Amino acid sequence: MAQPPAIENPFATWVRSWVHYDNLSNNYGKQATGARKLRDEFETKIIQNLRANNMEKATIQVSGAKLGLVEERCPPSLSIPRLETYLHSYFQQKGNHVDETDAILRYIKLQKNAQTVPVVKLKKTSLTATALPPVPSAPPATLK
């Protein structure tokens, strides 16, 4: 007599699915990082070759696309150390003998910490090298 199909616990399916998609997203992230690195290396070689041959204004047509050199402005990110440098420079240019940089940064850091909201997330910690869970046959059921 045939056995009835096993009734699977939805929680177990959610956990297996989460682990599977976490592994998948990590793998894709590593692949994307590698692809960007290689793309950047090829870009550097192409630009060097175009400059060496005085062809900076050339247009390369390939696979239905056009490639050409452009100059883009990329402002630096506004990090706390950079902000500190800018503030010191501001107060120095202002000619004010009172540099309030430390007080301003202390205030900004306090505000930043006051607005930090804890978020509960799953974190995976590998215990041993184990086989990946099987790929779910369908998208996980809606959480209720």
- Does the residue 46 lie in any domain? yes
- Does the residue 136 lie in any domain? no
pLDDT score for 144: 45
Give the other-Cβ count within 10 Å of 127's Cβ. Answer: 6
Q: 81, 88 in Cβ contact below 8 A?
A: no
Same domain, residue pair 47 and 82: no
- Does the residue 87 lie in any domain? yes
Same domain, residue pair 51 and 83: no
Instruction: Judge whether residue 59 has pLDDT over 70.
Output: yes
- Does the residue 111 lie in any domain? yes
Pure H helices in the chain = 10-52, 80-94, 101-114
- Does the residue 43 lie in any domain? yes
Per the structure, the count of domains in the chain is 2
pLDDT score for 3: 66
- Does the residue 110 lie in any domain? yes
- Does the residue 1 lie in any domain? no
pLDDT score for 1: 61
pLDDT score for 138: 64
Range of the domain at 109: 77-115
- Does the residue 72 lie in any domain? no
pLDDT in tens, 1-50: 666 666 678 898 999 999 999 999 999 999 999 999 999 999 999 999 99
